[in-house]
Amino acid sequence: MLIAHLSDPHVRPRGQLYQGVVDSNAMFEAALAQLDALDPRPDLVLLTGDVVDEGTAEEYAVASQMLADIGLPLLVIPGNHDEREAFRACFKAHAHLPATGPLHFAVGEHGPVRIVALDVTPPGEHHGEFDDATAFWLEATLAAEPERPTLVMMHQPPFASGIPYIDDYSCRGGERLAAIIARHPQVERVLCGHIHRFMQLRFGGTMLLTAPSTTTAIALRLAPDAEPASYVEPPAMLLHQWRPGTGLVTHFVPIGRFAGPFDFF
C-alpha cells in the first residue's frame, strides 16, 4: 500500500500571496502535479492540516477546486489555520467526518493500513491539546483493531522540536499520547504537519514523523533565544509504503524539476 502525505499548503484566495511573499497556491499545484505523476499511483493521500491560511470560505472554495481532480482517495484533518466549521462544510462529501465536534475519524477501507486521525486544535488557538475526550476516543479506537497496521495522523506534533518559536504551539499532552501509543504496537507511525519541516524521532515505541510544508519552511534555528523566521526552501512530500514482512518504509520526496535521470546509480 502506497500512501502520499502532504501538509500545510496554506491555500490563499486567487491572486493573493502567502504572507505577502510566496505563491502558496502555485506551490500546492506543483505538489499536486508531482503527486499525479507518481508511478505507481498512491492508494491514498493524507493532508495533515493548514489546508488554508485564514479559514475563509473563499480560501476553502479555492482549495476544493485544487483538490477536485486528484483522482485518489483523500483523508484530511484541520490545522490551526483552518476554521473547523468551514473545513467541515468544504469536506462535507467525506462521509467519515463527524457532523459535530472534533473531526476525529478512523478509516480502513483503502488497503491493509488503517488510518486514525485526531483533530487536536482547540478552536481559535494555534497550539494542540490532547485532552481527556481525545485520549478516551483514541484508546477505544486503537483497541478495536489491535492486529491491523495503523497510522495515526494529527496536525501539531506532540514533542519539543528544539525550535523555540514553533514549540510554543506544539500539542500539549504528548506524554499521555505516547503512553497510549505504546500500548498499541500496531501503530506504525504517528504523522504530523504544522512544523513546516521534516523531523523524525522515537515516540511511544514507534516512529513519529513531521511532513514538510508544500510552501515555506520554518527556519531551523535551535538557539533558545532564536528569532522566528522562514525560508523558501525546496518543498517536499512524504511517501509511506507498507509491505507484508517489511512494514512501513517512508520516503522523502522533494517537489520540483531536477537534473536527470542519469544512467548511473
Query: What is the C-alpha to C-alpha distance for residues 98 and 90, in angstroms, rounded to an integer?
Result: 13
CB burial string 75-111: b at 16+ within 10 A, e below = bbbbbbbbbbebbbebbeeeeebeeeebbbbbbeebe
User: Is residue 151 one of the residues assigned to a domain?
Assistant: yes
- Reduce the DSSP state of residue 175 to 3 states and report it: helix
Residue pLDDT, tens place only, 147-189: 999 999 999 999 999 999 999 999 999 999 999 999 999 999 9
Nearest in space to 170 (alpha carbons), one of 116, 224, 212, 129 = 129
Query: What is the C-alpha to C-alpha distance for residues 60 and 76, in angstroms, rounded to an integer?
Result: 13
Nearest in space to 154 (alpha carbons), one of 211, 215, 77, 52 = 77
Residue-level length of the chain: 265
pLDDT of residue 241: 98
User: Is residue 263 one of the residues assigned to a domain?
Assistant: no
Residue 194 domain boundaries? 2-254
Peptide bond into 261 cis (omega under 30): yes
- Reduce the DSSP state of residue 41 to 3 states and report it: coil
User: Is residue 142 one of the residues assigned to a domain?
Assistant: yes
pLDDT of residue 265: 86
User: Is residue 265 one of the residues assigned to a domain?
Assistant: no
174-182 and 132-143 are packed helices; what angle lies between their axes, rounded to 10 degrees?
10
| CATH assignment of the domain containing 107 | 3.60.21.10
User: Is residue 75 one of the residues assigned to a domain?
Assistant: yes
Query: What is the C-alpha to C-alpha distance for residues 169 and 125, in angstroms, rounded to an integer?
Result: 9
**pTM of this prediction exceeds 0.85:** yes
DSSP string, 203-243: ETTEEEEEPPPSS-EE----STTPPP-EE-PPPEEEEEEEE
- Give every strand in the sheet of 150-153, ordered side by side: 105-107, 114-117, 150-153, 187-192, 206-210, 199-203
Nearest in space to 154 (alpha carbons), one of 179, 113, 189, 108 = 189
Say how many domains are in the chain.
Answer: 1
**Which residue stretches of the chain have pLDDT < 50?**
none
Query: What is the C-alpha to C-alpha distance for residues 45 and 108, in angstroms, rounded to an integer?
Result: 13
User: Is residue 260 one of the residues assigned to a domain?
Assistant: no
Strands (E), the chain: 2-6, 44-48, 74-77, 105-107, 114-117, 128-129, 150-153, 171-172, 187-192, 199-203, 206-210, 217-218, 230-231, 236-243, 247-254
